[in-house]
Homo-oligomer: A and B are copies of this chain.
């Protein structure tokens, strides 16, 4: 009935880059995991903060006013309305926490955009 999951093991199910998968929920927030490699796309989430937890590797988070290199074990919340662009020079594993309402690439739509239905697949 009370079924935990192992965070590292959950990444075995992730095969595509930049395609988050929903693995859990706490209140109105979804837990998602994703493997990242390369550059994503500049975007903002108008109404929702988005938390990044680096599970493996490192991630450069670019902002309009600078950039932050996130190393393994680092946690950063990108505040709502903040333009950001994640760049992973090498493969990086991240845990994301954000509301169910959050759109993958904000109001930007590219070939990388994944719907929530995609993320539940």
Contacts and interface: CB of A to CB of B under 8 A. Distances in A.
A5 B74 contact: yes
A68 interface: yes
B49 A27 contact: yes
Identical chains bound together, number: 2
Most chain B beta carbons < 10 A, residue from A2, A76, A77, A97: A2
A65 B2 CA distance: 9
A25 B74 contact: no
A38 interface: no
Given A2-B66, A97-B97, A27 B48 contact: yes
Interface string A26-67: 111101000000000000000011110100000001010110
B6 A77 contact: no
A19 B50 CA distance: 26
